[in-house]
Amino acid sequence: MIIMEEIKMTNPIMVAEIGINHNGSLSNVFKLIDLAVKHKFDYVKFQKRNIDICYTEEYLNLPRVSPWGHTQREQKEGLEFSIDQYKIINAYCEAKGIKWFYSAWDIDSADKMLNNFNCDFIKIARACNNNKELIGFYNANNERKNIIVSFNPYTDIMSNIINDIKNIKFMLGCVSLYPAPSDYTGFEYLFNSNYRLGFNINFGYSNHSDNWIHPVIASFGEAKMIEVHITLDKTLYGSDQSASLDDTDLTYMMQYKYSTDLNKIKLYKEQEEEVLKKLRQTW
């Protein structure tokens, strides 16, 4: 007989990825932070880029119609916050009682963020887990074991990532499709203990699906951290909005994700035992 207290149960760390869904507006950032607080996330997460390092000049000169202009450069610049703006974001998070961290996509951004903010975690995004210069910078300048890495279990070689990057705390499975298809999500490895065998690292899931059920499934796969993109409105401008979860999605997700609330489980157990008494009357 399995006793309730013997079951291995852990609540995952919940991360609300704001990313670029703020569309360059601090007002939107505050609303998104409030949304994360409402749904009791542990962290909100942002992105920081020096676009002249992350993109070629040829690419930045390409046409792209956006709220900020008619080129890729204008669109990318419109989505970036300065260090001073991140200081405002930091103060707002402190006032709201929620922590935050970031993924920097280049050495210049990583250096500035590392020197100005003492976040619990630093994220190496899926697109950057093969950026040797960025990885080398963190290996040389980050002494704490607080790195989060996103990887695709179908295409990335996990042992290579672990060997290349020091101080990994969490590895999050994800795929770089927005939104990710329902049958190609990146969390499937969580249910394969052989896949994780021999790696002394916490595993989790970074959701790029538009369906709240996928993070819930990952939570039942013993994901130690779950990251989801959040949005004020899926129809807003932005490449990530459609792969994000809105207020309604988050309500369902938080309601059904795996929880270690032993008081609730004890209540359900007592209710179930009463039902079983009726069903098992003759044996």
266-275 pLDDT, tens digit each: 787 888 888 8
Q: What does the pLDDT read at residue 37?
A: 98
For residue 261, the model assigns a pLDDT of 67
Q: What does pTM read for this prediction? A: 0.89
* Domains of the chain, earliest start first: 4-279 (3.20.20.70)
With a cut of 50, list the residues of the chain below it in pLDDT: 1-7, 9
User: How many CB atoms are closer than 10 A to CB 248?
Assistant: 9
pLDDT, residue 191, reads 76
| First CA to last CA distance, the chain | 18
Measured CA to CA, the distance from residue 279 to residue 162 in angstroms comes to 52
Task: Supply the pLDDT for residue 266.
Answer: 77
Instruction: Tell me the backbone φ, ψ of residue 69, rounded to 5 degrees.
Output: 155, -150
How open is the CA angle 41-43-46, to the nearest 5 degrees? 125
Task: Give me the pLDDT at residue 262, please.
Answer: 64
